[in-house]
Chains A and B, each alone.
Chain A
Amino acid sequence: MMNYSEAAVRARGLTVRRADRTVLRGLDFAVPPGRITGLLGPSGCGKSTLMRAVVGTQAKVTGTLDVLGRPAGHAALRARIGYVTQAPSVYDDLTVRQNLDYFAAVLDPGRARRSARRDAVVRAIADVDLTPHADALAGRLSGGQRSRVSLAVALLGAPELLVLDEPTVGLDPVLRRDLWELFHRIAAERGTTILVSSHVMDEAERCHRLLLMREGELLADDTPDALRARTHTETVEAAFLHLVDEAAALQGSTR
Chain B
Amino acid sequence: MTTGPTPPEPTGPTHTGRTATDGTPVPATRAPATAQADAPAAPDPAAAPPPPSTPPSPFTGARTLATATRVLRQLRHDPRSIALMILVPCVMLFLLRYVFDANPRTFDSIGASLLGIFPLITMFLVTSIATLRERTSGTLERLLAMPLGKADLIGGYALAFGLIAVVQSALATALATWVLGLEVIGSPWLLLLVALLDALLGTALGLFVSAFASSEFQAVQFMPAVIFPQLLLCGLFTPRSAMHPVLEAVSDALPMSYAVDGMNEVLRHADVTGAFVRDALVVAGCAVLVLALGAATLRRRTA
Q: Which among A37-45, A80-88, A182-190, A198-206 touches the partner chain? A: A80-88
Per-residue CB contact flags for chain B residues 250-279 toward chain A (1 = under 8 Å, else 0) read 000000000000000000000000000000
A144 within 8 A of B: no
A170 within 8 A of B: no
Interface residues on A, range: 35 or more
CA distance A251 to B46 in the complex (A): 42
B225 within 8 A of A: no
Inter-chain contact B303/A91, CB cutoff 8 Å? no
Per-residue CB contact flags for chain A residues 4-45 toward chain B (1 = under 8 Å, else 0) read 111110101101011100100111111001000000000000
A174 within 8 A of B: no
Inter-chain contact A25/B43, CB cutoff 8 Å? no
With a CB–CB cut-off of 8 A, which chain A residues contact B78?
93
CA distance A183 to B78 in the complex (A): 36
With a CB–CB cut-off of 8 A, which chain B residues contact A22?
13
Beyond A15-B19, A57-B144, A251-B8, is A71–B31 a contact (Cβ under 8 Å)? yes
Interface residues on B, range: 35 or more
CA distance A60 to B147 in the complex (A): 22
B53 within 8 A of A: yes
Number of residue pairs A-B, CB distance < 8 angstroms? 222
With a CB–CB cut-off of 8 A, which chain B residues contact A70?
43, 47
B2 within 8 A of A: yes
Residue in B2, B35, B42 whose CB lies within 8 Å of A12: B35
CA distance A79 to B8 in the complex (A): 41
A241 within 8 A of B: no
With a CB–CB cut-off of 8 A, which chain A residues contact B63?
105-106, 109
A233 within 8 A of B: no
B302 within 8 A of A: yes
With a CB–CB cut-off of 8 A, which chain B residues contact A55?
145
Interface residues of B in 274-303 (CB under 8 A from A): 299-303
Inter-chain contact B42/A78, CB cutoff 8 Å? no
Beyond A60-B303, A105-B63, A217-B6, is A79–B147 a contact (Cβ under 8 Å)? yes
The 5 A-B pairs with the shortest beta carbon distances in the complex, nearest first, are A89-B138, A69-B43, A218-B4, A105-B66, A109-B62
- Besides the known contacts A30-B3, A78-B145, A85-B142, 17 further A-B residue pairs in the complex with CB atoms under 8 A apart: A12-B35, A13-B16, A18-B303, A58-B302, A61-B301, A66-B35, A73-B29, A90-B137, A91-B70, A93-B74, A106-B63, A109-B54, A153-B142, A160-B47, A250-B8, A251-B8, A251-B11
29 A-B pairs whose Cβ atoms sit less than 8 Å apart in the complex = A3-B41, A6-B44, A8-B44, A25-B15, A26-B15, A56-B301, A62-B28, A64-B28, A65-B28, A66-B31, A66-B32, A66-B43, A68-B44, A69-B47, A73-B301, A76-B51, A91-B139, A92-B137, A93-B78, A94-B70, A101-B70, A105-B62, A106-B147, A108-B53, A109-B60, A109-B66, A222-B2, A250-B6, A251-B8
Question: Which residues of A come within 8 Å of B, CB atoms?
Answer: 1, 3-8, 10, 12-13, 15, 17-19, 22, 25-30, 33, 53, 55-66, 68-76, 78-81, 83, 85, 87-94, 98, 101-103, 105-111, 137, 153, 160, 215-222, 247, 250-251, 254-255
Question: Which residues of B come within 8 Å of A, CB atoms?
Answer: 1-6, 8-11, 13, 15-16, 18-19, 21, 25-32, 34-35, 38-39, 41-44, 46-48, 51-54, 56, 60, 62-63, 66-67, 69-70, 73-74, 77-78, 137-139, 141-148, 152, 299-303
